[in-house]
Each structure stands twice: as C-alpha cells, then as structure tokens.
Amino acid sequence: MSKITFSMGGIHPNDSKFARECAIEVLPLPATVYVSMAQHLGAPAKPIVQVGDMVKTGQVIAEPGGFISAFVHSPATGTVKSIAPRKDLAGNNQIHVEISVEGEVWEDGIDLSKTLVTAIPEDRNFILDRIKNNGVVGLGGATFPTHVKLNPAPGKVAECLILNGAECEPFLTSDYRILIERTKEIVVGAAIMQKVLGGCSCVIGIEENKPEAIKAVKAAVSELGYPGIKVAVLKKRYPQGGEKQLIDAVMKRQVKSGGLPIDVGAVVQNVATALAVYEAVQKNMPLITNTLTVTGDNVPVNMMHNYLFRIGMPLSYVVDRAGGIPDMAAKLVSGGPMMGKAIANIEATTVKGSSSVLYLSEEATLRKPASNCIRCGKCADACPMGLEPFLLNRLSKAGDLEGLEANAVQDCIECGCCLYSCPANIPLLDRIRISKGQVMGVIRARAAAAKAAAEAAKK
C-alpha cells in the first residue's frame, strides 16, 4: 500500500486516539438550547423568528447576513424564549436564539428515513440551493459556507476534489467514526460535490493509522461505482489534514502565498462536510447535528465518547452527560490539542463546527517555562509552510509589522509545529498568531484603500 505525504516540515505527535473504539452515541436534547448566529465564517446570520414563536426541528430561524454567511435552523421543537447576546467559547458575546425544548415535530419536507439515496441529482443549481438552504458549512475547522466554496469564480476550474479524512490532530476520533459508521453517505456526498464541480476527479485521503476506515471507504467506493473516486493512504504526520499540505500530498502542487486551493485546481472538503452535503441534498436535512469526541489524556474509558450532538447544547451539558470533568483536567479544549481553542466558558454551546471537548492534563498542554532561544533551527525544520518561526518571534517582539509581512507571517496556518518542536519552550505560536492578525489587518486595509482608489479613478 503506497503512502503519500506533504513535502516540507511536520511533526509526529503521539496520536492518542483513545476514543477510537467508542461508537457514536446520540446525545438527547437538554431542556433548553441556545443557537448561535455566528456558527460560520463570515457575517453572522440574522434571526427571522420572534420571542414567543413556536419553532419546529429543522425550521429556518436565521438567514445569511451577507454573501459569506449561512442559514441557521432550529435543532429542536419548542418556544423561542429570548434572542440575546450570550458568551461563546472564547467569552465573546454573540447573538443566540434560546429555545425551550417541547417534544419533537420536524419541519415538513425533510426525509427522516435511513434509506440510502445514491442517485445524484442532475441539476447543479438544485444541488447548490439545497446545500445553501440547509446551512452547510465546512466542518474541518474553517466553517466556510460550502455552497460558496463549491462554486468557483469564473475562470477557475476544479480539477480535483480532495476529501480530508486525515484527522491528524491527536485525540480526535469523530471523523474516524463517521468514516466507518456513515461510509456510504460520505461517498455519495463526495459524488455530489464532484458533480457540482463539473465532474472533476476525487481523492479521499485517510491517514495510515485508520486501516478500518481505509478498508471501509475503499469497499464503499467500489460498491457504489461512481466514476473518478479514489482512496489515498496518507502517512501519519501532522498537519497532514491542512488544506495546503493535502494538496501537496495528493496533487504535488503548491498553493502560493496569498493564493487559494482553486488557483491550483483543488477544492478541499472534510469528510464530515461530505456527510452534511449528503444529508442536505439527498434528504433535505439541515445542518443541525455533527459528531464530537469527548476524551483526553489519562481519562477513564467510561468518560470517553463520540457523540452525535445537536447544535445549541451547552458544553456543560455535554460534559455532564459524559461523566463530568475528570480530576486530571488542567485545561479544556475545543478542537485538537494543536489547533483547538481553550474553552474559557463551559456554558458556551455546541455549534456546527464543534469537534471535541478535550480534557488535557498539565503535562499535555505543551506549556512549560520558557528559556532563551538556542538557535537550533528545529522550529524552522518543523514548519510545514517553510517559515522561520524564530525570526517571526523576534520580529513580533520588536513590533516590526513590515518585517513580519516580508517574512510571510500571513502564511502561518497556526499548526503549532514550531511550539511543539522548540526545546526552549518559547511560546512561538502565541506571538506569531497575534502578529499574523495585525499583518492581515494591514493587508486588508491596503486592499480596501486600493479598491476605493480604483473606483474613484473610474468616476
């Protein structure tokens, strides 16, 4: 079995997939759900319901707030109790629709049967409308609206759809579980996206540490018989699931600084997004569920789970259902230990892109006392984007935004490989992330000024 990987940098952390054997369990609804209007990249959605309204499960409760935005649907049946700011994971206020749960009545037109629908609709616009109207966003972390990503700008041609089944972050096992429990739906979802992209080829990339998933997906691809879909076995190497790293591994093409995957003919989607696309197009099912992993280091087996959750569930509720916060937990993280976000507010709710609740011990948090740089270069060797993190760190400390931009801080994918590799435990990622935000702000302001000047010149 030949294995492929990306060409530069990367690390080999212990994969710690302790919850891999935990079959997906359905989390029952709590008494109240709080549905965020900011569950996707882009403008927050705008509520279209009022306090006191009765809503059905799957009913639209918010419309897109701009071109890059998404519909949001009710995850439950009940009464709208409030539409008000509530703190998200990071402690920032976002508008949430609070719904008291009262029974379960589904919106009309949703196919709740388990029947696998394999016939791919012919009409591209029908497919894109279903994906848009059902609020599908990328579930690999970015939550970019899927209907926009599947509709490249004029002149851009998709040659290859790459389905990301790498799940290279340690601990996470939700993608693995859907790969073996919802295999055929994922393959149909891939075929739908191939169709909408004009019949390009499709490669489903899965890391070598998931042999059962590789076997299951290969069997489903063969049985369903859609043309042009292949399975690629990826070497276990972090960050193998990064968009640019997957394109490098599969197509041997590099996305230039500031460029997009479509510039080299690639569209990358996560396997969970393929499942959501299947549900949206073949079942008219809105994106109100996803799968998340509850796990950590030194966590008792009975406290590890892979849950099918509905959006709007407080994380405190998820944690309670899973057995409570274990004593060893020094830090709670949403997402993987490398790129995830610290949970600053346990009353924050699940959103479309939620992928985990991780309990990390002091030892696993990678936070140790920092010493001086010994100029070993290990951070640069580990960087999958070819950057020099020690230099970016130095420029960041000096507040040199010009130097940071010249040294491509904007290309940092915030993977944390530099931090992981640094023997001096320098918090490289923290500083680089802040500097990247500042430089991106400068780049955006410059682009806006150039656009305004061009428009003024036309008048």
- Nearest distance, CB of residue 243 and ligand SF4, angstroms: 12
Q: Do 143 and 353 touch, CB atoms closer than 8 A?
A: yes
Name the one residue in this structure whose structure tokens are 């984007």: 385
Please give the Cα distance from 266 to 159 (Å, whole number). 6
Closer by beta carbon to ligand SF4, 191 or else 418: 418
Cβ distance to ligand SF4 smaller for residue 60 or 415 = 415
- Give dist(CA 233, CA 200) in Å, integer: 20
Give residues in contact with ligand SF4 (CB under 6 A): 373-379, 382-383, 385, 387, 389-390, 412-418, 421-424, 426, 428-429, 432
Neighbour count for residue 453 (Cβ, 10 Å): 9
Minimum distance of ligand SF4 from residue 206's CB (angstroms): 23
Q: Can you read off the two tokens belonging to residue 219? A: 């069997």
Is residue 87 a contact partner of residue 345, using CB atoms and an 8 Å limit? yes
Closest CA to 306 of 317, 287, 290: 290
Smallest separation, CB 269 to ligand SF4 (Å): 22
- For residue 225, CA distances in Å to 118, 163, 222, 230, 273 come to 10, 17, 5, 11, 21
Residue 115, CA distances (Å) to 92, 191, 221, 271, 288 in order: 41, 17, 18, 20, 19
For ligand SF4, which is the closer residue by CB, 189 or 389?
389
For ligand SF4, the closer CB: 90 or 376: 376
22-32: b (≥16 Cβ within 10 Å) or e: bebeebebbeb
Least Cβ distance, residue 141 to ligand SF4 (angstroms): 14
**Residue number, 87 or 367, with CB nearest to ligand SF4:** 367
Q: What angle do CA 240, 241, 245 make, to 5 degrees?
A: 60
CB of 337 to ligand SF4, least distance (A): 14
Cα–Cα distance for residue pair 198/186, rounded to 1 Å: 19
Q: Which is nearer to ligand SF4, 254 or 316 (CB)?
A: 254
Which residue, 190 or 249, has its beta carbon nearer to ligand SF4?
A: 249
Nearest of 125, 123, 130, 98 to residue 30 by alpha carbon:
98
- Taking the least distance from each CB to ligand SF4, the nearer of 288 and 412 is 412
Q: Residue 311: which of 36, 44, 89, 42 has the closest Cα?
A: 36
